[in-house]
Structure 1
């Protein structure tokens, strides 16, 4: 099934040159037709496909999709709209980015596919570090999987600038323990947006990331 037309990328390219409320309001019907409605349908279908493998995922598209409006309260850039459309498909949806899931960002430049823990709490972070320290080979095996490396490369995230004494030896043995986040990123060309195989390709990414997401989900409970 094809969800998006070429106007998805055209809309955001034009928005980049006209990022103000007057232009957006004049293009509201186009936005609904080319961006919002097909994206909601796509996310809904992704949820249905994922539920075949993970019955605990009980969430609606509206709880996954982020607003196109930017939060400009503390930004020097006062452009009111994002130049991409995003969704966080997980048990917590867009409101809880500590829960591992699939974060999708569609833009004219790229399709971003992300997973892992973006914002673990202090307690969750301690559990992840402790689990990796106790049995580093288990996590290492998951992230060294050939298909995972091919699609996502490596685990990313900010790291501790000052390592507490109790973690120094552990960090020397496994540098990943220094991370304050545990996420990973894959990319596809934007031409995939108009390809009937879009959802199939995104599900391939989901299946590849799921073992790592599952590991992190069990650890932080």
Structure 2
């Protein structure tokens, strides 16, 4: 595509984060804020806008805003042992309602240092409300063919569910499940697929094409979750 708004992240994007990791103070950040804006913040906004337009045309349920969809570079350290005031990454999240704080299927992209989060994208059902997570677990047990078909479709597209955050024991009410793959599934708290981004490619305009292609390949996961979500909404 030739009409991209996104032209790639700046060459100083990762060097800026590396230097920020070393300095970690407000004075240095303000002195170098122009680099942050030009090489990280604005390009991520362009990437978000390009993806939103493509997702809408493709019928993928990911919406947002070039500014509001981005997470702040400044950290909330109140409940963290790590008191460094700035993140070593910049990220954004798109969701069906355009909110960053969503409990529905979402698309997440992160540009960061390899020793921390690194560079990657993810499509996920993450931190769902208890009733949706329970609905997913019931669907896995009651309709295992649909769950396994979703996994097979992901596999055909070169993707697989991430390890995620799983329970050590089978949740109450599902003790009768005996199939190993279904036991693993009902113990999951989240369902996500991940796409690594080569740090050397973040300056390339084609990154937006790669991320859109990833989201398309992750569609089976989104469709599976939305089908379950729809049954919960329609319940009396």
Paired residues for 1:29-68 under 5 Å: 29-54=34-59, 57-68=62-73
Report which structure shows greater RCO (CA 8 Å, sep ≥6).
1
Indicate the structure with greater helix content.
1
User: Considering only aligned residues, what root-mean-square deviation do their CA atoms show, in Å?
Assistant: 2.0
Name whichever of 7-16 and 57-66 sits farther off: 57-66
> How big is the shift at 1:90?
1.4
Paired residues for 1:60-99 under 5 Å: 60-99=65-104
Residue 119 (structure 2) pairs with residue 114 (structure 1)? no
Which residue of the other structure, out of 25, 30, 41, is the alignment partner of 2:30?
25
Name whichever of 152-161 and 114-123 sits farther off: 152-161
Supply the distance in 1 between the matched residues of 2:190 and 2:61 (Cα, whole angstroms): 24
Residue 188 (structure 2) pairs with residue 183 (structure 1)? no
Q: Which residue of 1 aligns with 2:208?
A: 199
> How big is the shift at 1:126?
0.6
Q: 1:165 to 1:200 in 2, by over 3 A?
A: closer
Work out the number of aligned pairs and report it: 219
Task: Give unpaired runs (5+ residues) of structure 2.
Answer: 231-236
Supply the distance in 2 between the matched residues of 1:210 and 1:188 (Cα, whole angstroms): 19
> How big is the shift at 1:218?
2.6
8 Å contact kept, 1:72–1:80 = yes
Name whichever of 156-165 and 30-39 sits farther off: 156-165
Supply the distance in 2 between the matched residues of 1:147 and 1:12 (Cα, whole angstroms): 36
Q: Which residue of 2 aligns with 1:156?
A: 163
Which residue of the other structure, out of 216, 220, 228, is the alignment partner of 1:219?
228
Scaled by the length of structure 1, what TM-score is found? 0.90
SS of the aligned residue for 2:58 comes to coil
Scaled by the length of structure 2, what TM-score is found? 0.85
Supply the distance in 1 between the matched residues of 2:127 and 2:178 (Cα, whole angstroms): 20
8 Å contact kept, 1:156–1:184 = no
8 Å contact kept, 1:65–1:94 = no
SS of the aligned residue for 1:63 comes to coil
Q: Which residue of 1 aligns with 2:234?
A: none
Task: Give unpaired runs (5+ residues) of structure 1.
Answer: none
